[in-house]
Structure 1
Amino acid sequence: MHTWAIISQKGGQGKTTLATGFAVEAARDGAAVVILDTDDRQGTASYWENARATDDVTVVNTGIAVLPLNLAKAEKGQADLVIIDTPANSRDIATEAARAADFVLIPVVPRAFDIASVLQTVKQIKQEGTPFAVVLSQVKHTGSEADDTAASFVDMGVVVLATRLHDRKDFSNAVGLGQAATEYDPKGKAAAELRAAFDEVKRLSDFATKRAKRGAT
């Protein structure tokens, strides 16, 4: 079983959009996928599952105290990929999620006040020693903020995905319908960005989605 955690102490960075989008892509590739929704206040991933027309992705609500138990249940249930969707402003959950994960993805909206907050998340993940990368999300179609933000993280020795998720309505529209952008408009630009980001994270985390590969080893 492979575990990804999507972490940011700042709200509104697109964590659940990534968690659900990646889950759909992994399931489409034949993986058994579980999202652990650790946000007991909003539970956006759980709302997404309720709106979803298919049961190819399982969402489990979990608090910090039972996170290890739910990870063990997922492994016992032969999950191939667990994605931990974390809330904002919860250092304890972020720490536990980073410790449990094989790889952490930190979404960042390239705005000055968001970047300052995310720097604390980067520091926290570095302390845990879990491999991680930053992905720029809700990127505006004009301006140099994304380039400047990416350069700043690279200067700090942080891996930044080459793929950027731009500010596109397809992302939010899809989540509201219990879908991923790749389902909402498979040929759209948001879908292409989501697929590219998923492929990058697979490569960086050394995750093979095909269940046949696991069974053949």
Structure 2
Amino acid sequence: MKTIVLASQKGGAGKTTLAAHLAVMAERAGDGPCVLIDTDPQASLAAWWNEREAQTPAFAPTSLKDLVGKLEALAKAKFKYAVIDTPPAITDAIQTVVALADFVLIPTRPSPHDLRAVGSTVSLASGSGRPFAFALTQAKANSRLTVQAMAALSEHGVVAPAVIHDRVDFASSMIDGRSVMEIDPRGRSASEIAELWEFVKARMNGNKKAR
């Protein structure tokens, strides 16, 4: 089983939204079964899943102290991917989660404040020896700042080619347990998530050219 950890020191970067959507996309792409884990005390991912009518992806409640054992049990249960959401901070607890990751995805908004905050998250992933990449989120269409942000992030690591734009359907989907793929399967938001999932999957499977 591969473990994907969403981590970012900055709150509001879209960790929970990406975690939910990547897990749903993995299932829709035939790459499941996939399971979600929420380590954020705010439990936003758990709340989304509890509103969800679909049976997939699965959700596995656990505590940080039981996380290692839980992941081992999920692997034995033949889950292929575990997607873990984390709180917006850099703490010893998050270091423990990141150390268990096969891949760390760092959502980052194209804003000066967010760009200044990525350093500690990068240090955390690098210090744990975990491969990581940035995913640009809540981007504005045709914005020079988006291009500048991708250039700035590329100096610190790999940047996902899929840019997640700021659209209402992402926020709407998180209210009632759905995803943008279920709201509008042929929409631009769904295409961006599909592209991001293919990138993450390729990076975890050793394709270093997926950038």
Shorter-chain TM-score: which interval? over 0.9
Matches within 5 A, 1:1-217: 1-28=1-28, 29-40=30-41, 42-156=42-156, 158-206=157-205
Consecutive unaligned residues in structure 1, runs of 5 or more: 208-217
Q: Distance in 1 between matches of 2:98 and 2:31?
A: 25
Q: Which moved more, 1:70-79 or 1:195-204?
A: 70-79
Q: Distance in 2 between matches of 1:96 and 1:184?
A: 35
- Per the alignment, residue 209 of structure 2 pairs with none
Aligned residue-pair number:
205
Q: What amino acid is aligned across from residue 37 of structure 1 in structure 2?
A: D
Contact 1:9 1:91 survives alignment (8 Å): no
Q: Secondary structure at the match of 1:171?
A: helix
Q: In 2, Cα distance between the equivalents of 1:51 and 1:203?
A: 30
What's the TM-score, normalizing by structure 2?
0.92
Alpha carbon RMSD of aligned pairs, Å? 1.4
Indicate conservation of the 8 Å contact 2:115/2:153, yes or no.
no
Aligned to 1:215: none
Identity %: 34
In 1: Cα distance, 2:7 partner to 2:121 partner: 8
1-structure distance, mates of 2:118, 2:155? 15
Contact 1:34 1:79 in 2 (8 A): yes
Runs of 4+ in structure 1 off by over 6 angstroms are: none
Deviation at 1:179, TM superposition (A): 1.2
In 1, Cα distance between equivalents of 2:56 and 2:141: 33
Query: Cα distance, 1:61 vs. partner?
Result: 2.9
Q: CA deviation at 1:93?
A: 2.9
Higher helix residue share: 1
Deviation at 1:99, TM superposition (A): 0.9
TM-score, normalisation: structure 1: 0.90
**Unmatched 5+ stretches in structure 2:** 207-211
> Aligned-pair distance for 1:126?
0.9
Question: What is the Cα deviation at residue 78 of structure 1?
Answer: 1.4
CA contact (8 A) 1:37 1:85 kept: yes
Task: Give the letter for the 1:3 counterpart.
Answer: T
Q: Residue 22 of structure 1: SS of its match in structure 2? A: helix
